[in-house]
Amino acid sequence: MTTNVSEITRLVYSGLEQNGYRGRIVSIKHIADLKEEIEAHYNGGVLDKALYREYSLASFESAAPEDFPAAKSLIIIAAPQPQYRVKFNYGGRLFHLIIPPTYSHHTDETVGNLLSDILKAKGFHLRPAFLPFKLLAVHSGLAKYGKNNISYIGGLGSFYRLRAFLTDLPAFEDSWHGLQLLEQCNQCKACINKCPTGAIVEHRFLIQAEKCLTFHNERKGEFPDWIEPFWHNCLIGCMRCQSVCPANKRLFSWFEEKESFTEEETGLILKGASPYQLPRVTIGKLYRLSLLDDINVLPRNLNALLGQCESR
Per CB under 6 A, residues contacting ligand SF4 are: 146-148, 182, 184-185, 188-191, 195, 197, 199-200, 207, 212-214, 238, 240-241, 244-247
Estimate the crossing angle of helix 106-120 against helix 2-18, to 10 degrees: 150
Identify which of residues 172 and 215 has a Cβ nearer to ligand SF4 in the complex: 215
In whole angstroms, how close is the CB of 88 to ligand SF4 at the nearest point? 21
Identify which of residues 101 and 146 has a Cβ nearer to ligand SF4 in the complex: 146
Distance CA 87, CA 255 (A): 13
Phi first, then psi: what are they for 157, rounded to 5°?
Answer: 55, -135
In whole angstroms, how close is the CB of 293 to ligand SF4 at the nearest point? 20
Q: Taking phi first (over 0 means left), then psi (-120 to 50 degrees means alpha), and beta for anything else, what does residue 76 get?
A: beta
**Minimal CB distance residue for ligand SF4:** 146
Identify which of residues 76 and 200 has a Cβ nearer to ligand SF4 in the complex: 200
In whole angstroms, how close is the CB of 213 to ligand SF4 at the nearest point? 4
E strands in 107-177: 126-129, 144-145, 151-152, 160-167
Identify which of residues 132 and 146 has a Cβ nearer to ligand SF4 in the complex: 146
In whole angstroms, how close is the CB of 275 to ligand SF4 at the nearest point? 28
DSSP three-state, residue 58: helix
Identify which of residues 26 and 207 has a Cβ nearer to ligand SF4 in the complex: 207
Picking from 77, 72, 81, the residue whose alpha carbon sits closest to that of residue 170 is: 72
CA distances from 227 to 202, 237, 306 (A): 21, 14, 16
Estimate the crossing angle of helix 298-310 against helix 263-270, to 10 degrees: 120
E strands in the chain: 22-27, 73-80, 83-90, 93-99, 126-129, 144-145, 151-152, 160-167, 255-261
In whole angstroms, how close is the CB of 149 to ligand SF4 at the nearest point? 7
Identify which of residues 78 and 195 has a Cβ nearer to ligand SF4 in the complex: 195
In whole angstroms, how close is the CB of 144 to ligand SF4 at the nearest point? 9
